[in-house]
Structure 1
Amino acid sequence: MKLQLFVSLWVLTSLGCMGRTTVPSSRLPEGARLVDLTYSFDENTPYWPTSPSGFELKQLSHGMTEAGFFYASNTLCAPEHGGTHLDAPIHFAEGKMSAEQLPLERLIAPAVVIDFSADAMKEPDALLQPAHIESFEKEHGPIEPGTIVLVRSGWGKYWPNKKQYLGDDTPGDASKLHFPGISREAAEALVTRKVAAVGIDTASVDYGPSKDFIAHQTLMKADIPAFENVAAMEQLPTRGALILALPMKIRGGSGGPLRIVAVLPPG
């Protein structure tokens, strides 16, 4: 009930403030704030090395019209998977949900943050393991069904340096990538817990050297979407945040650009 009241107050008081990293508490319940977990899309946005293109914004109009008022308009083009984005289940599981089919309950839900950055900073190819999940639950309580699980490796500190963030920046070659991800066993453990979605602060829920993308396969066969390249996880509490992850609603899409925001409760 407290969470429902908090969300209702947020909806009524904070619309129009989504462009800021944080919102003054005067626009939210006292002591609460918003955190933008989304990287801006531009020419520097990292995409998978084999992607045929990156993000492109082309100016159509920008200036005064003959009628005397200013007018700006652009066209944009980008692959579905790059920058802060959604992986819909159909991305790695035939017959599962595409982007527009995802229920809002999988995109808007309470979150937990599992931080394994200490391991990731020692080993670029570190994998989240069931032991990390079990340790989290021992200290912070069980992960309830319908929770959005955010996995923090600390890799966001390298954004948007492609070589550091991906481990290699050779165009067209994805065979030399190195960054943390989620193991098959950890993905299976999250499926067992019936989580709503899984997010990570790297380019993929699978680690850089992966060849079979087994974390993707495991999660998405269970119709669990993924959020990749999530920003600013270090600003979130271990528990208590409400996540709003709203992708472009692309019919038949295997994913798409994502605007993801955390609502932090008072306290």
Structure 2
Amino acid sequence: MSQFYQIHLKQKLDRFLRQPFQKPFWGIVCLILLFSISFVSVNAAQPLRQPPLWQIYQQSFKNAKYVDLTHTIAPTIPVWSGFGSSKFAPAINPKTGEPYIYQKDGFEATHYDLSTDQLGTQLDPPAHWNPDYPAIDELPATFAVRPLVIIPIQDKVALDPNYHLSVKDIQDWERKHGRIPQGSVVFVRSDWSKAWPNPELATRTKFPGVKLEALKFLHLERQILFHGHEPLDTDSTPTLEGEAWLLQNGYAQAEGVANLDQVPETGALISIGYPKFKGGLGGYARYIAICPPNWKYGVRVGQIPESPLLKADKPLHWDTKLGVRVR
């Protein structure tokens, strides 16, 4: 309400109260009404402040750069021979025995015959090796977003394909960037994933990893949430000693991560998603790095159409030879 109308209302109220036939009660009512209207008008003029987390989204997350650290799951991606291969097929109508098709049914769906939950980019719950610890559906929701640390060892791996992250590598990183944050996720960049999806990757006995001493340092000294690596195993020792120590002692880990060359070593966050299979001993994971706005890689919110999503130039169709839908 403007000051003019407030003065006008007050003048009318004064004249009203000076009339002898009016009872004091009505004067009090009008006075309360005047102040109530004034209070509401003043507050209505003030814009509502967004809740704090919404402010953080508008100020930080909306302008951040997003980088996908996840491999696409397909029947031919690298997988341990002990699990075997997976198959995709069109979903079948059990009543007719025929696949659903767009032209007749208005939709299509896919049947997945997955040989294992240890496939592609993963989040390993400790129950994978120890049934006394949580399965994938029992991991806490607090895994959702964490600070992301990238420790590079790709130059050393280029000289020694079997190079494993050491405590010294971690300490060298900290001398440059500062102490690794408690509760963070630490990914080890080796560039092993640049050969993905060559199935031969799964047969290599020499590959970059993480030493047991480094894992203990990260968890016991720095109290990280979990670490991640590009290969499909933690280390190349005969007994997988690093992976065994982690999972048998209640720690999770990420495997098969990708695109770590597109993420800054410090200053990013990571979004962690995975399906909740009941009693699952592995997790098909989706990792997204949330990088600073001025980072050279990634996409911003609104940079590409999101709602509705962009219509493709070519429609999806089933490729019998490849065993997947392609464009």
CA deviation vs aligned residue, 1:78-126 (integer Å, no higher than 9, x gap): 1110211111111123411110111132342111000111111111111
Q: Does residue 77 in structure 1 map to residue 113 in structure 2? A: yes
Aligned CA RMSD, in angstroms, stands at 2.1
Q: Percent identity?
A: 27
One-letter code aligned to 1:56? K
**With structure 2 as the length reference, what TM-score do the two structures score?**
0.67
Aligned pairs for 1:29-178 within 5 A: 29-30=62-63, 32-51=64-83, 53-60=84-91, 61-65=100-104, 70-78=106-114, 79-163=116-200, 165-166=201-202, 168=203, 177-178=205-206
Q: 1:46 to 1:177 in 2, by over 3 A?
A: same
One-letter code aligned to 2:153? F
Q: Does residue 191 in structure 1 map to residue 240 in structure 2? A: no
Counterpart of 2:17?
none
- Worse-superposed segment, 114-123 or 104-113: 104-113
Q: 1:139 to 1:246 in 2, by over 3 A?
A: same
CA deviation vs aligned residue, 1:165-220 (integer Å, no higher than 9, x gap): 23x3xxxxxxx62211111111111111111111111111223xx22111112222
Q: 1:251 to 1:110 in 2, by over 3 A?
A: same
Contact kept in structure 2, 1:47 and 1:83, CA below 8 Å: yes
Q: 1:254 to 1:133 in 2, by over 3 A?
A: same
**With structure 1 as the length reference, what TM-score do the two structures score?**
0.81
SS in 1 for 2:57: helix
Q: 1:160 to 1:139 in 2, by over 3 A?
A: same
Q: Which gives a bigger RCO, structure 1 or 2 (Cα 8 Å, sep 6+)?
A: 1
SS in 2 for 1:137: helix
CA deviation vs aligned residue, 1:16-53 (integer Å, no higher than 9, x gap): xxxxxxxxxxxx633x22111111111221111211x3
CA deviation vs aligned residue, 1:214-266 (integer Å, no higher than 9, x gap): 11122224422111111111110011211112111112111121111111122
Aligned residues: 233
Counterpart of 2:207?
179
Contact kept in structure 1, 2:147 and 2:181, CA below 8 Å: no
One-letter code aligned to 2:189? R
Q: 1:6 to 1:82 in 2, by over 3 A?
A: farther
Q: Hey, what's the Cα distance between the residues in 1 that align with 2:59 and 2:117?
A: 30
Asked which structure has the greater CA Rg, the reply is: 2
One-letter code aligned to 1:120? V
SS in 2 for 1:261: strand
Contact kept in structure 2, 1:198 and 1:224, CA below 8 Å: no
SS in 2 for 1:185: helix
Q: 1:6 to 1:241 in 2, by over 3 A?
A: farther
Q: 1:135 to 1:215 in 2, by over 3 A?
A: same
Q: 1:194 to 1:221 in 2, by over 3 A?
A: farther
Q: Say which structure is richer in helix.
A: 2
Counterpart of 1:219?
246
Contact kept in structure 2, 1:106 and 1:197, CA below 8 Å: no
Contact kept in structure 1, 2:149 and 2:187, CA below 8 Å: yes
Q: Structure 1 unaligned runs (5+)?
A: 12-27, 169-175
